[in-house]
């Protein structure tokens, strides 16, 4: 499938701000399940873009805006050819062994409620990690209601999600990731895009590592392993690590369009905004 993507992010600053530093993770890389045909980054201010590879193998750009200004806007745009690999991710850049993805982070910290969730999900399920991961995904999907990301661009921590019983896809991914790590399975956070027939949007999901198979993409919010409708953008330990834009501004607005590239472009735009 060919997916056409346009992702615009604006971050607001105090008027008259000078010498702003910004980091963006908005450039997908190819692997066996996706091929980047065309990709551009556009800024509304004059500055040099330095591409760097971050610790997790993501392409990121750090740049500075001299100002004075009250906002910075970045637009990423391109086309990606995707293939269905039944969720298995091969040929990706892997600077770390899977063991690294056992790290605990603030957003995925194994608090008592998360441990209870994980243990309940795999109760009576065989030790085999793949089966357990599917059980975890089903459990997360059944007990947590997915809602559209509003209010905050940073997904909630696993603990907060379990308390609220509902979250955006990224929050549900935190629960899945924290639970998998508690069960001894390396797991990580993925940002990207989901292009369906009727809508396309930014999305977060998880990947977990199964020996002999490799990394497998699970979307517990939708209870599926990733398909050709998914475009993988960045990988990290949790949502912090894959934040598309990091700066010191106070408000972030995003608008994302991801759609089937074979159809004529439509103007569907998902809006989200919040504090960063």
Partner 1 sequence: MRQAFDEMSSTDGHVRPAYETLKQWLGGVPQDVLNHRRKEAEYIFRRIGITFAVYGEQNAQERLIPFDIVPRILTKDEWGRLSTGLEQRVKALNMYIRDVYSKREILKAGIVPEDLVYKNPAFRPEMNGQRVPHDLYVHIAGIDIVRTDPDTFYVLEDNARTPSGVSYMLENREIMLRLFPELFSMHKVAPVENYADDLLATLRSLSPQSGHEPNVVILTPGIYNSAYYEHSFLADKLGVDLVEGRDLFVKDGIVFMRTTEGPKRVDVIYRRLDDDFLDPLAFRPDSVLGVPGLMSAYQAGNVTLTNAVGTGVADDKAVYSYMPDIIRFYLGEEPLLPNVPTWRCREADHLKYVLEHLPELVVKEVHGSGGYGMLVGPTADKAQIEKFREKLIADPANFIAQPTLALSTCPTLVEKGIAPRHVDLRPFILSGSDKVRIVPGGLTRVAMKEGSLVVNSSQGGGTKDTWVLDA
- Name which position in 103, 120, 142, 213 contacts partner 1 (CB under 8 A): 103
Q: In the numeric block, which tokens belong to residue 147? A: 């809602």
Report the C-alpha gap between 100 and 157 in whole angstroms. Answer: 20
Contact 175, 219 (CB under 8 A): no
The answer to the question of residue 134 lying near partner 1 (CB under 8 A) is no
* 3-class secondary-structure state, position 257: strand
User: Of 131, 166, 248, 263, which lies in the binding site for partner 1, with binding defined by CB under 8 A?
Assistant: 248
Q: Is 209 in the site for partner 1 (CB under 8 A)?
A: no
Q: Does 152 help bind partner 1 (rule: CB under 8 A)?
A: no
**Which residues have a Cβ under 8 Å from the Cβ of 113 and sit 6 or more positions away?**
159, 162, 163
Q: Is the dihedral of CA 219, 223, 225, 230 positive or negative?
A: negative
Give the DSSP H/E element, type plus range, for residue 113.
Answer: helix 112-121
Give min distance, CB of 173 to partner 1, in A. Answer: 19
CB 110 to partner 1: min, Å: 11
Find the binder of partner 1 among 79, 143, 240, 253 (CB under 8 A): 240
- Kindly indicate which of the ranges 1-9, 28-36, 99-107, 155-163 contains the residues binding partner 1, using the contact rule CB under 8 A: 99-107
List residues bridging with 190 in a β-sheet: 205, 235
Distances in whole angstroms, Cα of residue 227 to Cα of each of 30, 124, 244: 15, 29, 22
CA atoms within 13 A on the CB side of 118: 24
Does residue 19 interact with partner 1 by CB under 8 A? yes
Residue 209: CB minimum distance to partner 1, A: 13
CB of 148 to partner 1, least distance (A): 23
Smaller CB distance to partner 1: residue 35 or 96? Answer: 96
Output 63 or 215, the one with its CB closest to partner 1.
63
Backbone angles phi, psi at 271, to 5 degrees: -105, 135
Alpha-carbon gap, residue 169 to 186, rounded angstroms: 19
Q: Does 140 help bind partner 1 (rule: CB under 8 A)? A: no
Q: In what order do the strands lie in the sheet with 69-82?
A: 34-43, 69-82, 2-17, 251-260, 270-275
Give the residue with the Cβ less far from partner 1, 80 or 235: 235
Report the residue from 36, 43, 88, 102 that binds partner 1 according to the rule CB under 8 A: 102
The reply on whether position 211 binds partner 1 by CB under 8 A is no
Stretch that binds partner 1, among 13-21, 108-116, 137-145, 163-171 (CB under 8 A): 13-21
Told to check if 23 binds partner 1 by CB under 8 A, we report: yes
Cα distance between residue 162 and residue 174, in whole Å: 10
Cβ closest to partner 1, residue 86 vs residue 275: 275
Q: Which listed residue (66, 119, 128, 199) binds partner 1 by CB under 8 A?
A: 66
Residues that bind partner 1 (CB under 8 A): 19-23, 47-48, 50, 52, 54-56, 62-64, 66, 95-97, 99-100, 102-104, 237, 240, 246-248, 276
């Amino acid at each position: 499938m060919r997916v056409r993507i346009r992702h615009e992010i604006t971050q607001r600053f105090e008027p008259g701000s000078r010498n702003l530093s910004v980091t963006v993770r908005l450039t997908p890389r190819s692997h066996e399940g996706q091929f980047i045909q065309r990709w551009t980054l556009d800024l509304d201010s004059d500055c040099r873009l330095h591409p760097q590879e971050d610790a997790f193998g993501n392409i990121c750009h750090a740049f500075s805006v001299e100002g004075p200004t009250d906002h910075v806007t970045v637009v990423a745009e391109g086309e990606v050819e995707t293939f269905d690999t039944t969720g298995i991710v091969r040929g990706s850049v892997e600077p770390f062994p899977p063991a690294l993805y056992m790290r605990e982070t603030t957003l995925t910290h194994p608090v008592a409620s998360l441990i209870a969730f994980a243990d309940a999900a795999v109760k009576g399920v065989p030790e085999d990690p793949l089966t357990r991961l599917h059980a975890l995904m089903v459990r997360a999907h059944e007990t947590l209601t997915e809602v559209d990301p509003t209010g905050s661009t940073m997904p909630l921590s696993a603990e907060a999600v379990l308390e609220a019983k509902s979250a955006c896809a990224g929050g549900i991914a935190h629960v899945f990731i924290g639970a998998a790590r508690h069960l001894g399975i390396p797991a990580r956070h993925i940002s990207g895009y989901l292009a369906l027939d009727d809508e396309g949007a930014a999305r977060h999901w998880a990947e977990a590592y199964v020996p002999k198979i490799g990394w497998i993409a699970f979307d517990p919010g939708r209870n599926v392993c990733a398909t050709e409708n998914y475009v993988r953008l960045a990988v990290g330990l949790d949502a912090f690590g894959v934040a598309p834009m990091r700066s010191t501004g106070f408000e972030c607005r995003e608008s994302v369009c991801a759609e089937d590239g074979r159809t004529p472009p439509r103007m569907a735009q998902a809006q989200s905004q919040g504090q960063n």
